[in-house]
């Protein structure tokens, strides 16, 4: 807000867009209030005259012409910090947001990380990792127990769901998904959809988080055709429910697959949809490992976005399957950080063998490697690779 005239706060329903934006706003226009919406729709350009900046325009998609009114107002007066618009990424994809380029900056609001849920700052900074390598992490202890760190895979970071009884928590998350496909769908498409089949597709997709499952496998599990499954996938993207990792590409490595790794925006949604409680997952370690990997990827991406690091994330998998790394971060200066999620309290150098192979291939541009686990303390595995508890990063 200190650099841009307007910011568009995006994110899934219930992530806290309005509550967060209201902390910065001097005045608010609630367009989910019908009389206000009618008044603004009648003359959008007159809406801002008597209001103090920053002006929050909440649920702006209810009156789409307000977007152009904001653009025109900014063109007349380019001062920073004039507008906050709260809406969802799904709305942005169906509106003429490109016309706001250079005027309105989209800002993604993720679900809350472990540290945010407990009201404390992370024990180590990702920015320091990019600058100083693993020396920024060595010896730092996690303020979270192993159980709390693993719990990030089944406990949602949606603020309204914090602190609930586990059974109520999972029931509420399943209801959240029910409403997402039944109610939120009407905001992004006018076409009639079979919500029962779409809900089944959501459940089938949730079974694949933390994997590179092919679309065909998800379609078959959901009992839908390729064309229908493709349209459902697009709807989930527009609803903001899925946050896939693209396959990594680099000129020093050949035969890398481009198929994305599947992730929900919050892995707890996938866990709840399959009744995967902490107790159940103790007997399903493979599934727990996939959910933990998804939690690692989602929370590290959230922290990097919030800090404005400009890191681009992907995953690495070779066509032959002989090399696989869960999370690759490409830094703006050309450096590379490799991250593996490991569901184990004890980590040894052998757990970093995939990262070591990448380090040897990349040479000097390899900045650091992390084996992220739910343990107690960060320690060095080699000169540029460390075992790091999730709880000190996020």
3-state helix/strand/coil string of 64-100: CHHHHHHHHHHHHCCCCCCEEEECCHHHHCCCCHHHH
DSSP state of 110: P
Angle at 384 between CA 380 and CA 389, to 5 degrees: 45
What distance in Å separates the CA atoms of residue 209 and residue 153, rounded to the nearest whole number?
11
What distance in Å separates the CA atoms of residue 313 and residue 310, rounded to the nearest whole number?
10
Who contacts 4 (Cβ-Cβ below 8 Å, separation ≥6)?
80, 81, 103, 104, 105
* pLDDT (average), residues 188-212: 87
Banded pLDDT at 62 (limits 50, 70, 90)? confident
Is the pLDDT confidence value at 100 over 80? Answer: no
Which pLDDT score, from 0 to 100, does residue 378 have? 96
- Supply the pTM of this predicted model: 0.91
Q: Using an 8 Å Cβ cutoff, are 347 and 390 in contact?
A: no
The region of weakest confidence among 24-33, 101-110, 240-249 is: 101-110
Q: What is the pLDDT of residues 255-293, one digit of tens each?
A: 888 899 999 999 999 999 999 999 999 999 999 999 999
* pLDDT (average), residues 82-92: 74
Q: Which domains does the chain have, with CATH numbers?
A: 6-108 (3.40.50.300), 114-393 (no CATH)
Which pLDDT score, from 0 to 100, does residue 98 have? 47
CA 124 to chain centroid, in Å, comes to: 20
Banded pLDDT at 190 (limits 50, 70, 90)? low
- Site of tokens 């198929």: 259
Is the pLDDT confidence value at 38 over 90? Answer: yes
Which pLDDT score, from 0 to 100, does residue 320 have? 80
* 225 phi/psi in degrees, rounded to 5: -75, 170
Banded pLDDT at 186 (limits 50, 70, 90)? low
Q: What is the pLDDT of residues 137-151, one digit of tens each?
A: 999 999 999 999 999
Nearest Cα residue to 135 out of 365, 389, 388, 305: 388
Angle at 105 between CA 102 and CA 110, to 5 degrees: 160
């Amino acid at each position: 807000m200190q650099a841009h005239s307007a910011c568009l706060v995006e994110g899934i329903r219930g992530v806290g867009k309005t509550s967060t934006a209201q902390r910065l706003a001097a005045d608010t226009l609630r367009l989910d209030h019908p009389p206000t919406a009618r008044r603004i729709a009648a003359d959008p350009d007159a809406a801002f005259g008597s209001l103090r900046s920053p002006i929050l325009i909440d649920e702006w998609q209810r009156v789409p012409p307000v977007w152009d009114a904001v653009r025109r107002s900014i063109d007349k007066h380019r001062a920073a910090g004039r507008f906050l618009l709260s809406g969802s990424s799904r709305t942005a994809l169906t509106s003429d947001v490109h016309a706001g380029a250079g005027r309105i900056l989209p800002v993604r609001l993720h679900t809350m990380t472990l540290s945010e849920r407990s009201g404390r700052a992370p024990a180590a900074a990702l920015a320091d990792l990019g600058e100083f390598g693993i020396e920024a992490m060595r010896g730092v202890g996690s303020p979270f127990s192993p159980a709390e760190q693993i719990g990030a895979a089944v406990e949602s970071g949606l603020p309204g769901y914090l602190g609930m009884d586990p059974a109520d928590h999972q029931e509420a998350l399943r209801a959240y998904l029910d409403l997402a496909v039944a109610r939120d769908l009407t905001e992004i498409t006018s076409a009639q959809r079979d919500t029962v089949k779409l809900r089944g597709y959501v459940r089938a997709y949730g079974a694949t988080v933390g994997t590179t499952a092919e679309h065909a496998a998800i379609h078959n599990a959901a009992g839908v055709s390729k064309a229908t499954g493709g349209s459902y996938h697009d709807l989930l993207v527009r609803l903001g429910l899925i946050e896939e990792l693209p396959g990594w590409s680099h000129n020093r490595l050949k035969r890398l697959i481009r198929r994305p790794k599947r992730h929900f925006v919050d892995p707890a949604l996938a866990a709840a949809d399959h009744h995967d409680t902490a107790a159940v997952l103790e007997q399903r370690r493979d599934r727990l490992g996939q959910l933990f990997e998804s939690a690692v990827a989602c929370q590290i991406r959230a922290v990097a976005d919030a800090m404005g690091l400009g890191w681009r994330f992907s995953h690495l998998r070779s066509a032959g399957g002989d090399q696989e790394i869960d999370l690759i971060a490409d830094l703006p200066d050309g450096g590379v950080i490799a991250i593996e999620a490991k569901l184990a309290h004890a980590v040894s150098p052998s757990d970093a063998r995939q990262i070591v192979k990448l380090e040897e291939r990349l040479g000097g541009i390899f900045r650091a490697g992390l084996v992220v686990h739910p343990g107690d303390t960060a320690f060095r595995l080699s000169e540029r690779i460390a075992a790091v508890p999730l709880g000190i990063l996020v």
